[in-house]
Amino acid sequence: MQTLEITKDIHWVGVLNTTLRAFDVVFQTRFGSTYNSYLIQADKPTLIDCVHEKFDREYLEKLRSLINLRDICYIVVNHTEMDHTGALGLLLKETPNAQILATKTASLFLKNILHAEVKGKMVEDGECISLGNKQLKFIHAPYWHWPDTMFTYLEEEHMLFSCDGFATHFCDERLFDDLVDDFAEDFRYYFEHVMGPYRKKILEAIEKIKNLDIRLIAPSHGPILRTDPWKYINAYKDWSTPRKDPHKKLILVLYASMYGNTKKMAEAVARGASTMTTEVKLLDAANVSPEFMRCEIESAEGILIGSSTINGDALMPLWNIMNIMFSVNVKLKKCATFGTYGWSGEATRLMEDRLKGLKLHIVQPPVKVLFTPTEEDLKRCSIFGYDFAQSLTTSSAT
Ligand code: FEO
């Protein structure tokens, strides 16, 4: 695939990575991905974003098929992660008249990525730059999903170049959202994994673009969104908006139980944790997907995790959920563990170790029950839950 005309003056000049199956090592890309870059053929020709280093020569060939590289005046770097800046080193050698436009943070990052002084300008939030017959407006959008990120809005064409925002790891060379196969599930997956930890920042940036007349979103990965761009913006807004009662603190009581004994403990813990100021969600880890849990964990102020011990370990569904916590903003959320055991009872300690590693704050020692809980044990569990709820009204850990 060579290049693709979006409008007479705007071309997609990105590359396809059909074989990619994991992005940043951990995020699944079951249909590959694309690194999108866009050429604006204005009086002052401008490139938006760049591509992965692996494709730098292919990328330059595409550009040369449309323009003399010496004519390029600006290269907009909306975000500096190397999937978008890897080819920049070679590109800059071929574009001696180009200036880089980026946020202050992105400009600092670029110095350490390229190890060279970069000829460019730091653009302010809301700043406009004329390309002669067209105009760009820059909207800072920090933590979409790095601190350096911004959007670029091309006013005459009503296009938002959103970099990783509204992107999808989905490789289909037809590129336009109305032509490619169904990518809804992958769009959501991308949001949850890449943007999910920054929901507050997502809402802040959507507030900034809500009055723009956006008719097309050109992200840096996957389909170009031209049929109903606001559908995607509103989806981000919806997924980022907190669901819980704003007056109550949310506690997740998450458990896995082999014979129902840890489940009984979890129910007693949940009863104790339900107070005037808390809302409790009791969830069986074996019946929820880790993906669903991401949103719940993000919303919760406190997390209580219970497991039976089997072969000296906690149960797998809980490990699966704790494994996705690295991509959720869990730092200093309060937590504690509980569980049943038969002889060794390592599950609670092992889960504590993992939670500490994730920088959650363990607020109280575990409650453990040998084999089956008695009425007295269930009272202990209820008190354990109550004490935990009380801890949420005290100041956070330092
Ligand atoms: Fe597509 Fe954050 O890089």
Q: Encode pLDDT of 138-173 as tens digits.
A: 999 999 999 999 999 999 999 999 999 999 999 999
CA–CA dist 326, 358 (Å, integer): 7
State whether the beta carbon of 52 lies less than 6 angstroms from ligand 1: no
State whether the beta carbon of 220 lies less than 6 angstroms from ligand 1: yes
Question: Which residue's CA is the nearest one to ligand 1's atom 3?
Answer: 81
State whether the beta carbon of 148 lies less than 6 angstroms from ligand 1: no
Nearest to 374 by CA among 274, 243, 264: 264
Residues 256 and 343 in one domain: yes
Is there a domain that residue 230 lies in? yes
Residues 257 and 196 in one domain: no
Buried b (16+ CB within 10 A) or exposed e, 24-35: eeeeebebbbbb
Domain residue limits at 328: 249-388
Residues 15 and 160 in one domain: yes
**Percent above pLDDT 70 for the chain:** 97
Helix (H, G, I), strand (E, B) or coil at 317: helix
Residues 160 and 278 in one domain: no
* Gap from CA of 26 to ligand 1 centroid (Å): 13
Residue 398 confidence (pLDDT): 35
Residues 18 and 133 in one domain: yes
Calculate the alpha carbon distances from 40 to 46, 156, 340 in Å: 5, 11, 63
Question: Which residue's CA is the nearest one to ligand 1's atom 1?
Answer: 164
Residues 191 and 270 in one domain: no
**pLDDT for residue 109 is more than 50:** yes
Atom of ligand 1 nearest to the CA of 146: 2
Nearest to 166 by CA among 103, 209, 104, 124: 209
Residues 33 and 153 in one domain: yes
**Percent above pLDDT 90 for the chain:** 82
CA–CA dist 133, 42 (Å, integer): 6
Is there a domain that residue 394 lies in? no
Helix (H, G, I), strand (E, B) or coil at 88: helix
Question: Which residue's CA is the nearest one to ligand 1's atom 2?
Answer: 81
* Gap from CA of 23 to ligand 1 centroid (Å): 9
Phi-psi sector, 12: left (phi>0), alpha (psi -120 to 50), beta = beta
Taking a C-beta distance cutoff of 8 angstroms, is the pair 223, 164 a contact?
Answer: no
Residues 184 and 258 in one domain: no
Is there a domain that residue 42 lies in? yes
Over the stretch 70-107, which tens digit does the pLDDT of each residue have? 999 999 999 999 999 999 999 999 999 999 999 999 99
State whether the beta carbon of 84 lies less than 6 angstroms from ligand 1: yes
Over the stretch 296-319, which tens digit does the pLDDT of each residue have? 898 899 999 999 999 999 999 999
Q: What is the mean pLDDT of the chain?
A: 93
Q: What is the mean pLDDT of the segment spanning 220-229?
A: 97
Domain end (from 240, 266, 301): 240
**pLDDT for residue 24 is more than 90:** no
Residues 234 and 256 in one domain: no
- pLDDT band of residue 395 (cuts 50, 70, 90) is low
Residues 234 and 257 in one domain: no
Is there a domain that residue 397 lies in? no
Residues 27 and 150 in one domain: yes
* Gap from CA of 142 to ligand 1 centroid (Å): 13
- pLDDT band of residue 396 (cuts 50, 70, 90) is very low
CATH of the domain at 202: 3.60.15.10
Is there a domain that residue 361 lies in? yes
Atom of ligand 1 nearest to the CA of 220: 1
Domain end (from 240, 264, 295): 240
Q: Taking CA 255 as the corner, what is the angle to CA 289 and CA 365, rounded to the nearest 5 degrees? A: 135
CA–CA dist 166, 173 (Å, integer): 18
CA–CA dist 214, 247 (Å, integer): 35
* Gap from CA of 134 to ligand 1 centroid (Å): 27
Number of structural domains in the chain: 2
**pLDDT for residue 116 is more than 90:** no
Residues 64 and 196 in one domain: yes
Domain end (from 208, 240, 272): 240
Taking a C-beta distance cutoff of 8 angstroms, is the pair 261, 308 a contact?
Answer: yes
Residue 291 confidence (pLDDT): 66
